[in-house]
């Protein structure tokens, strides 16, 4: 079995089905593990919350027998559309629209960055049509901006990576520079912003870290949203500055997280390529060894066949002499004659 150079080039240019299959198996396994983990963590607490909510509803209906269940369902469905607005109405607080300029600016940022918290969404047909048209042009433009910002951060990381914190050991120096880059990024984009959100939004610090990651990874669940119109800052000017800083943080954070995710992806891809190359080299080496053994066996058999052929050609095969033939015939005749005489007697 011989693999030509043309066949090898075709295999190298192919889609790499083995690699794709391996990555799919790893990805599906990772998803299954994640589903099992969150099922274990979040399943029972959700059932407990539903039991508690059911108890509150039954208690309310028991204390207010004049309330019809159908009316209760309609009432709750209306509240579910905007629970925060309903709560502020119940408290008789000042109601301000989310769709002022700052709120709308917050909304378009979540659209073009593909975060999509879900806390704000157009309810009118005109608004939904405008969203589709706006996002078609806004998302590619934002991706270009993030790409240039990523290049800027790459240059900064390259300069940091050239620092000689430990000049005597280049490998250790490279590791220290990488740790410095990661620590600076985590501090400026996660630890400090989480502390600010803790102070302004009155969240727990871990909730602030959770919000930072969910936002900068563009997961955007929407359970925590910073810098909305009804934020904790009562002063209008301070609130506007807070929103501007927040969304500047989002843009730089998206670029930084994209670099980190790209780096991790490249590590996985290179590792997969190394495994594939190792397997391919081992297989080709085994094939070359088998080809060498077959060639060696073929040469040995050819040499033996040539030796036998040479011996056959060199051996003399003499013709039987006429006297010997006659003598054999005479002996046979005498024997037959003796048998005939014996029978006659």
Q: Determine the average pLDDT of the residues in 271-286.
A: 77
Task: Mean pLDDT check: name the lowest of 47-56, 131-140, 263-272, 287-296.
Answer: 263-272
pLDDT recorded at residue 204: 94
Task: Mean pLDDT check: name the lowest of 35-49, 181-195, 276-290.
Answer: 276-290
Comparing 65 with 36, the larger pLDDT belongs to: 36
Q: Is 189 exposed, middle or buried (0-12, 13-18, 19+ CB in 10 A)?
A: buried
Asked if residue 321 has pLDDT above 70, the reply is: no
Highest mean pLDDT among 7-16, 23-32, 107-116: 107-116
Look up residue 318 and give its DSSP letter. Answer: P
Is 304 part of a structural domain of the chain?
A: no
Is 16 part of a structural domain of the chain?
A: no
pLDDT recorded at residue 234: 59
pLDDT recorded at residue 95: 64
CA–CA distance, 107 with 125 (Å, rounded to integer): 17
pLDDT recorded at residue 210: 95
pLDDT recorded at residue 132: 93
**pTM exceeding the 0.85 threshold for the entire prediction:** no
Asked if residue 5 has pLDDT above 90, the reply is: no
Q: Indicate the number of domains in the chain.
A: 1
pLDDT recorded at residue 30: 85
Highest mean pLDDT among 224-228, 247-251, 325-329: 247-251
Asked if residue 20 has pLDDT above 50, the reply is: yes
pLDDT recorded at residue 313: 61
pLDDT recorded at residue 193: 94
Task: Mean pLDDT check: name the lowest of 85-89, 139-143, 326-330.
Answer: 326-330
Render 22-71 in DSSP notation, one character per residue: HHHHHHHHHHHHHHHHHHHHHHHHHHHHHHHHHHHHHHHHHH-TTS-HHH
pLDDT recorded at residue 180: 83
Is 139 part of a structural domain of the chain?
A: yes
pLDDT recorded at residue 241: 81
Is 76 part of a structural domain of the chain?
A: no
CA–CA distance, 62 with 56 (Å, rounded to integer): 10
pLDDT recorded at residue 166: 67
CA–CA distance, 52 with 332 (Å, rounded to integer): 123
Reported confidence tier of residue 341, pLDDT bands at 50, 70, 90: very low
Comparing 160 with 75, the larger pLDDT belongs to: 75
Output the six-digit token pair for 338.
Answer: 């003796």
Contacts by 119-126, CB closer than 8 A, 24 or more apart: 119/222, 119/225, 119/228, 120/228
Task: Mean pLDDT check: name the lowest of 50-59, 126-135, 286-295.
Answer: 286-295
Is 320 part of a structural domain of the chain?
A: no
Is 334 part of a structural domain of the chain?
A: no
Whole-number Cα distances in Å, 125 to 108, 117, 121: 17, 20, 11
pLDDT recorded at residue 197: 92
CA–CA distance, 199 with 193 (Å, rounded to integer): 10
Reported confidence tier of residue 336, pLDDT bands at 50, 70, 90: very low
Output the six-digit token pair for 146.
Answer: 């993030």
CA–CA distance, 296 with 80 (Å, rounded to integer): 81
pLDDT recorded at residue 74: 87
Strands (DSSP E) contained in 91-205 are none
Q: Determine the average pLDDT of the residues in 7-12.
A: 48
Highest mean pLDDT among 46-60, 172-186, 204-218: 204-218
CA–CA distance, 62 with 57 (Å, rounded to integer): 8
Is 5 part of a structural domain of the chain?
A: no
pLDDT recorded at residue 340: 42
Highest mean pLDDT among 85-94, 105-114, 283-292: 105-114
pLDDT recorded at residue 345: 40
Q: Report the CATH number that the domain containing residue 286 is assigned in CATH.
A: 1.10.287.70
Write out the residue range of the structural domain in which residue 202 sits: 98-299
Is 313 part of a structural domain of the chain?
A: no
């Amino acid at each position: 079995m011989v693999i030509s150079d043309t066949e090898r080039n075709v295999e190298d240019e192919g889609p790499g089905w083995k690699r794709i299959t391996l990555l799919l198996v790893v990805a599906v396994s990772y998803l299954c593990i994640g589903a099992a983990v969150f099922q274990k963590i979040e399943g029972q607490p959700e059932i407990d919350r539903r039991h508690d909510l059911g108890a509150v509803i039954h208690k309310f209906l028991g204390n207010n027998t004049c309330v019809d269940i159908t009316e209760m369902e309609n009432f709750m469905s209306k509240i579910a559309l905007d629970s925060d607005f309903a709560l502020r109405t119940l408290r008789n607080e000042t109601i301000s629209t989310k769709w002022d300029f700052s709120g709308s600016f917050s909304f378009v940022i979540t659209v073009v960055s593909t975060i999509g918290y879900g806390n704000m969404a157009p309810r009118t047909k005109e608004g939904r049509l405008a969203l589709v048209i706006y996002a078609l042009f806004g998302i590619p433009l934002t991706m270009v901006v993030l790409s240039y910002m990523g290049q800027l951060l790459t240059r900064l990381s390259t300069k940091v990576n050239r620092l000689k914190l430990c000049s005597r050991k280049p490998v250790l120096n490279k590791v220290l520079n990488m740790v410095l880059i990661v620590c600076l990024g985590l501090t400026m984009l996660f630890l400090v912003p989480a502390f600010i959100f803790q102070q302004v939004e009155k969240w727990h610090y871990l909730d602030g870290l959770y919000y930072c990651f969910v936002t900068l990874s563009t997961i955007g669940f929407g359970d925590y949203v910073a810098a909305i119109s009804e934020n904790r800052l009562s002063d209008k000017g301070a609130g506007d500055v807070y929103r501007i800083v927040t969304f500047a943080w989002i843009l730089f954070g998206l670029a930084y997280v994209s670099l980190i995710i790209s780096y991790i992806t490249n590590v996985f891809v290179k590792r997969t390529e190394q495994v594939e190359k190792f397997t391919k080299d081992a297989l080709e080496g085994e094939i070359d060894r088998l080809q060498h053994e077959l060639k060696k066996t073929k040469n040995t058999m050819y040499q033996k066949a040539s030796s036998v052929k040479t011996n056959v050609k060199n051996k003399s095969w003499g013709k039987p002499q006429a006297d010997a033939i006659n003598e054999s015939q005479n002996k046979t005749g005498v024997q037959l004659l003796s048998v005939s005489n014996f029978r006659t007697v």
